[in-house]
Amino acid sequence: MRPLSITVASVLFVVIGLGFGLSAFPVARYLARHHELPIVFGIRAFAGPFERFGPGVFGRLLTAYGVLSLLEVLAGVWLWRGLKQGALLGVVLSAVNAVFWVGFALPIPLIGGPLRILLLMLGWRSLR
């Protein structure tokens, strides 16, 4: 039986990965067409320090983040199955994506990312 910490970590990987991964692509497309970020619920989507690089680089960074975030879904699925490779992939992706979380000023992943790593540490021994 999978410990609660691994279950919650896997759900966090999937939810954050899907939520931010899937939204990154339409925002990048909007940016490419309009040369500005869309307003979503009164907030400029993905606005943060990376904006200083200009729309071209910002759009490529956003697309890269989208791909990496969708890989977090794979990590979450593997974790759900109790596989250590999911934890390893999740740790690597979290370390890389932390740069994007700061660069795009994303508060939810900045909280959920470290939380899921803590949960992985708590349930590490149960993984195969």
Tell me the per-residue pLDDT of 83-126, one tens digit each, with 9 for 90 and over.
999 999 999 999 999 999 999 999 999 999 999 999 999 999 99
Instruction: Indicate the number of domains in the chain.
Output: 1
Does the predicted model carry a pTM greater than 0.85?
yes
pLDDT digit string, tens, across residues 5-61: 999 999 999 999 999 999 999 999 999 999 999 999 999 999 999 999 999 999 999
Q: How confident is the model at residue 1 (pLDDT cuts 50, 70, 90)?
A: confident
Q: Supply the range of the domain harboring residue 77.
A: 4-126
Distance (Å, whole) CA 75 – CA 83 = 9
Distance (Å, whole) CA 54 – CA 56 = 6
